[in-house]
Amino acid sequence: MGTLIVGLILIVVIGIAIASMIYDKKRGKSLQCGGDCSKCRGCH
């Protein structure tokens, strides 16, 4: 029973993380580019 609860919590946390990344991507943010070119080290 404990394994099931931990598994469900893990699935929920992963789902929230993925939803957050999708939301940020739609708003123009991403893990690769924060939109602040002054902090970019030659990535473009």
Cα separation, 1 vs 15, whole angstroms: 21
3-state secondary structure of 33: coil
Whether this prediction's pTM lies above 0.75 is answered by no
Q: What is the pLDDT of residue 12?
A: 98
For residues 31 and 21, the answer to whether their CB atoms sit within 8 Å is: yes
- Mean pLDDT per 10-residue interval, the chain, length 44 residues: 96 96 78 64 56
